[in-house]
Amino acid sequence: MLTGEFRAVTRNSPVTFYYGPDEPRGIDYELAKGYADRLGVELKMYVADQFWQIFPDIDSGKAHVGAAGLSITEPRRELVEFGPPYQSIQQQIIYRSGTGRPREISDLLGGRLEILAGSAYVNGLENARIEEPMLAWIENPNDSIDELVRRVAAGEIDYTIVDSNEYELLRHAHPDARVAFSLGAETPIAWALPKTTDNSLSESIAAYFAELRATGELDEIIERYYFHAETDFDYVDTKTFIRHFHTRLPTYRDFFVRAGAESDVDWRLLAAMAYQESHWDPQAVSPTGVRGMMMLTIPTAQMIGVDDRTDPLESILGGGIYFRRVMKKIPERILDPDRTWFALAAYNVGFGHVEDARIITESQDDNPDSWEAVRERLPLLSDPGWYEHLSRGFARGLEPVHYVDNIRRYYEILLWMTSEEFVREEPPESRQIVELSSG
């Protein structure tokens, strides 16, 4: 059994591990952190310099496990053992929209296909080459999956391969990258463990994952990262968002950072709110008369001391102050991330209407402190069978549902698109290893 520390080798991706605004994020990071906490040991999680190094690090004992969204393949079974599967994926051929969609392996001939070096995609392509002997590809040891997808979207290469779960997250950042077809059958992914006669580690990890499944915590972790991917993909809206990220946001980014520091709210969340409100247009005006970057009403602006709602700095600072006030109204027993989603809904429709939705939720024997449960009931605020009996009356209950859903999607995209900047700002030793004490 482990003593002192739990060492996990991983890779940077929106699925596995990346740096968030104040702490690491990613499904594999959360799973590894939970396992270390369960054992009462320190987590040491580091990013392999190159993907192929993950397996030698496990074999040598440098890492106890490889927690990197690793698909289970027969060639890999010769190198490592695998823990319990926690997701299933398919390998997908990615091409650039507008260039002609390839339908089968033979359509890739003559194009430039680059894949992650040392990945399971090599085995998939070798199997495909049995039927297409002329199939050729380049194993790229330097670029990440995200960079390869970006290069396809930019037209720098013709094709790449990505796991289906990773594409679901990356497509919002690279809307011109599309799925051509799937390569091979669905494959489970799991942690990789060293081959050894001592089964204590594998048995402990198996028990940990069994507990996560039984309590529903595994589904909750996965849902947090795939929520924005599961919402309807709007190609035009996503492409517009990415364009505005590069053209509009840089002008106001420092304002969001300042507002975030003054209100103790992640600046990326404030930026996501502002994009939902105004598309980062300080002169935006709604049909109801609210205006500015954060779409403040006149009474709200007066309450928080905003004199000019169209001044971007005033609006952003005011929006941060007002959102913090709304957050303080949410019962303290409600923890994040639900607490933030409740506050966003209240920012949009009003705290009283959110309370009415919570009352409806409780009356139907569901949890009023769960955002997902209340989210289902918010549309009932426009049903006369309900609102006629509520103290705050009618509200367009579907609007805060869409409002929160959209902001969650924009926020996750911003977290990922700014994560590499965070890594570059950190000294090399701190970006390669994360050390966290349990608790």
**CA–CA separation, 296 vs 298, rounded Å?**
7
Q: Looking at the DSSP assignment, which residues form a beta bridge with residue 192?
A: 66, 82
**CA–CA separation, 249 vs 294, rounded Å?**
14
Residues 274 and 313 sit within 8 Å (Cβ to Cβ): no
For residue 291, give the DSSP letter: B
- Joined together, the tokens standing for residue 182 give 């799937």
Distances (CA, A) of 363 to 121, 279, 359: 51, 38, 6
- Joined together, the tokens standing for residue 151 give 């290069």
Whether 168 is catalytic is no
Could you count the other beta carbons within 10 Å of the beta carbon of residue 431? 16
Residues 388 and 219 sit within 8 Å (Cβ to Cβ): no
**CA–CA separation, 222 vs 76, rounded Å?**
24
List the catalytic residue out of 30, 114, 168, 277: 277
**CA–CA separation, 62 vs 47, rounded Å?**
12
**CA–CA separation, 289 vs 291, rounded Å?**
6
Exposure string over 341-362, b if 16+ CB within 10 A, otherwise e: bbbbbbbbbebebbbbbbbbbe
Q: Looking at the DSSP assignment, which residues form a beta bridge with residue 18?
A: 25
Residues 324 and 264 sit within 8 Å (Cβ to Cβ): yes
Residues 137 and 113 sit within 8 Å (Cβ to Cβ): yes
Catalytic residue set = 277
